[in-house]
Structure 1
């Protein structure tokens, strides 16, 4: 625990210290009655990881990005508790409860916001301890430094961005993306944008295999002939990486009771982002069961609904804010100076290399993120 809490006050707890959890802290700290409530952030990892820069950090040590993207919570206007949640014990609907931690500690809450984020496959599955995070970074950097023929399974944003980082840092390494669709990305985005991305990927010397799958992931740095599901052979692959998307990190949330999660593991919410049958418990970020692409920038929109509704709950007032979805937009760098973006506004706007490099590819939003993690003015 980085700051002491006042035992005479009730606790408002945010579970999860990723983009959504940090955004909630920033907004809630400005509006919560601190004379009555402690604001607490609970997270298993000791710092925020700016995942947007995680691929570049894993591929090369050139910029020592770990010094910039592993951001301590000490500047946040909340008490930070490092711990692993193992159970949520709800006293009664609307009456708060207790969070049970792996070390046996029990943390009471009067209201709760769940922001547990996503589980990622492969190289950005960091683990929780500082030692695990740094060991993960070290291992992947060694692998990329030695690899000669990399296969990436997945043609979404993660796979594309990873391919771009590899060819930037290791230009002599062969890179192949194997993806299940007829074009890169998914059909949320228009063909014009997806075709533009495909052309830019190919222009960087990255090979593409579409409408196919990789089912086997051999030991790293062991040259192996990979046979895809449709029978295509990729000879001599020595690093095969899963990059086919994330899953909601919601297993523990199931301890609230039956019916809290969908079959896919997302948290069921009302338009107020409160959980049905669990007054005073809200969910934000990637874990929310909402028909939209899971992206960090939408956390601000979620927080702008959940925070005022939580405050209304604490005051015994009706919750008036409702979530209506967010505009779909995405910027996909293919290294520092290449890429494309799409904004679903007006007629649908597609941008190219220059805009992508300036807005994201150059520093992957590291500077902006570090600035925004300061306490609110």
Structure 2
């Protein structure tokens, strides 16, 4: 009889993968956690790194450190290129080459990336924001734009460098647009001789009829009003037709803008496509109600890679709380199978509401029947994000940085590193 503990392979150290690993801490299993990077990233604050409010270590922590006291888990830095469901193996790529790793249970939680809706040639001109590398590249571009405007001698070129476009009116786009407007009007005040940063034009371009479409209409209207009070030009019902190095085309009109940011869509990790099961339009795996893959009860998919419906037919949103809940649920399923116990055969998502910050003392919050906007919503957003950050040090550093920014309008990470052809590094 084989007395070895079951081997659980978890692919992805984001919210779903990490919460699954933690929930299996006392289970009689051996866990291998695989990730391309060595850190867990608190994605809801990634835009703060992109806009120089925080540094990378403030919102990320090494996976090995987070799990250092969990004896049944091993962390490996590697890329999973393929899943062989029949052989119950994953194929790894790492510094030492390629190899295969067997599993008894597999948890795929590799998240999502940018989706340009078939216009992949836009990517070099309109970077998205999903990883720390993305944030550092975007921070470099945003800060360099003001430097290039300062050095420009042609008025049209100067205006193009001072023109910023955020494509997509979801939470990420709203947060970026509001923060960028604050940087231009307050943080950079009186720092340049040839330009007035406050003259920068920040446009938020949304193809749909309103920003923050996942929120109730009244909060969406309040969010738009708060953005406009910060100086952001909000364009709705305006799908982008083309993007190049000089700017973008919208409603048949070309708008010169040397800095364009993509926040309009996401596509699931390509790893789901090798399972040989149905995918939705965004490439997410259509899982069973218990988050397992049809035909393979030993494989689970969680987080942004999973296409899950609620009992009323609405999709489970791709947000951090949903990913955490999926990770914990998958761990419960695995523990129950090992112990021969029953567990609910349907994942039940608990919706704790929506939050989005717009700028200094401006935010919107939806908590069931409770709807907040303005200062109260901003304080709630701040406390909620501090609470969910991993580690006491991260919370303390973020709180100090936010306190300084609140009283001085200054941003702690405004250092440009690297040339125009490569990303900077903290």
**1:250-329 to 2 correspondences below 5 Å:** 251-256=270-275, 258-290=276-308, 291-327=315-351, 329=353
2:26 is aligned with 1:27 = no
**1:125-140 to 2 correspondences below 5 Å:** 125-126=130-131, 136=137, 139-140=140-141
1:189 aligns with 215
CA distance in 1: counterparts of 2:268 and 2:235, whole angstroms:
28
Structure 1's 134 and 335: CA in aligned 2 closer, same or farther, altered over 3 A? closer
Match for residue 79 of structure 1 among 62, 70, 74: 74
Residue 245 of structure 1, CA deviation: 2.5
1:51-80 alpha-carbon deviations (Å, 9 max, x no partner): 2111121122xx442121121112223311
Contact 1:185 1:194 in 2 (8 A): yes
Contact 2:266 2:282 in 1 (8 A): no
1:175 aligns with 202
Residue 241 of structure 1, CA deviation: 1.6
**1:20-59 to 2 correspondences below 5 Å:** 20-29=16-25, 31-33=26-28, 37-59=29-51
Structure 1's 283 and 109: CA in aligned 2 closer, same or farther, altered over 3 A? same
2:263 aligns with 243
Report the 3-state secondary structure (helix = DSSP H, G, I; strand = E; otherwise coil) of the residue aligned with 1:212: coil
1:117 aligns with 111
CA distance in 1: counterparts of 2:20 and 2:146, whole angstroms:
38
Structure 1's 56 and 140: CA in aligned 2 closer, same or farther, altered over 3 A? farther
CA distance in 2: counterparts of 1:373 and 1:115, whole angstroms:
26
Structure 1's 281 and 154: CA in aligned 2 closer, same or farther, altered over 3 A? same
Residue 157 of structure 1, CA deviation: 1.1
Structure 1's 300 and 38: CA in aligned 2 closer, same or farther, altered over 3 A? same
2:162 is aligned with 1:148 = yes
Structure 1's 137 and 26: CA in aligned 2 closer, same or farther, altered over 3 A? farther
Structure 1's 328 and 9: CA in aligned 2 closer, same or farther, altered over 3 A? closer
1:100 aligns with 91
> Bigger CA drift: 320-329 or 265-274?
320-329
Structure 1's 368 and 81: CA in aligned 2 closer, same or farther, altered over 3 A? same
Structure 1: any 5+ residue segments left out of the alignment?
1-6
> Bigger CA drift: 200-209 or 299-308?
299-308
1:3 aligns with none
Structure 1's 68 and 144: CA in aligned 2 closer, same or farther, altered over 3 A? farther
Q: Normalization by structure 1: what TM-score?
A: 0.82
2:11 is aligned with 1:15 = yes
Contact 1:312 1:319 in 2 (8 A): yes
1:227 aligns with 249
Structure 2: any 5+ residue segments left out of the alignment?
116-126, 148-160, 186-197, 309-314, 395-426
> Bigger CA drift: 265-274 or 132-141?
132-141
Backbone CA RMSD of aligned residues: 2.7
Match for residue 368 of structure 1 among 371, 388, 393: 388
CA distance in 2: counterparts of 1:363 and 1:143, whole angstroms:
32
Q: Normalization by structure 2: what TM-score?
A: 0.73
CA distance in 2: counterparts of 1:272 and 1:24, whole angstroms:
14
Alignment coverage as a number of residue pairs: 341
Residue 17 of structure 1, CA deviation: 0.9
Residue 373 of structure 1, CA deviation: 11
